[in-house]
């Protein structure tokens, strides 16, 4: 994973998951030549910072004694994990699957469909 608030990308990574800007849709551009996959900012934030929750709004503030005046957004109980079947079928349709870095991911998921692909 790469993006704001994280240390520099791992040079041994096959791919990097990066956030898209919520307004412009532009993907985060990390340094280096590792291929990137852009995710919606809210999905990326859940993956990058699973235990962080802000008790107050990002701008402004709340009166003393009020912890939060609106409910927090619903959150999954587990981290996002792609299902291996659709993931493999999608990769198989990509011409880029012939490239070594993507082929390694494809083979890893084929051999171990219930483990994390990344």
Per-residue pLDDT of the chain (118 residues; tens, 9 = 90+): 888 888 877 777 888 889 998 889 898 888 877 888 889 888 888 888 876 655 555 556 666 676 665 666 677 676 677 778 888 888 888 888 888 888 888 888 889 887 766 6
What is the per-residue pLDDT for 71?
A: 66
What is the per-residue pLDDT for 86?
A: 84
14, 18, 24, 29 alpha-carbon torsion, rounded to 10°: -60
The DSSP secondary structure of 66-117, one letter per residue, reads -S-SSPPPP--SS-----HHHHHHHHHH-GGGGSHHHHHHHHHHHH-TTS--
Question: Could you tell me the pTM of the whole model?
Answer: 0.46
> Scanning the structure block, which residue is given the tokens 């919606």?
40
Q: What is the b/e burial string over 91-108, where b = at least 16 CB atoms within 10 angstroms of the residue's CB?
A: beeeeeeeeeebeebbee
């Amino acid at each position: 994973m790469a993006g704001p608030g994280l240390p520099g990308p791992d040079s041994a990574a096959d791919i990097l998951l990066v956030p898209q800007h919520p307004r412009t849709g532009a993907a985060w551009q990390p340094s280096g030549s590792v291929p990137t996959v852009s995710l919606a900012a809210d999905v990326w934030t859940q993956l990058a910072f699973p235990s962080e929750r802000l008790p107050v709004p990002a701008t402004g503030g709340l009166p003393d004694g009020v912890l939060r005046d609106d409910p927090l957004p619903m959150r999954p109980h587990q981290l996002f994990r792609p299902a291996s079947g659709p993931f493999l079928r999608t990769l198989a349709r990509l011409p880029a699957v012939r490239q070594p870095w993507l082929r390694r991911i494809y083979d890893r998921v084929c051999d171990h469909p219930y483990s994390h692909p990344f």
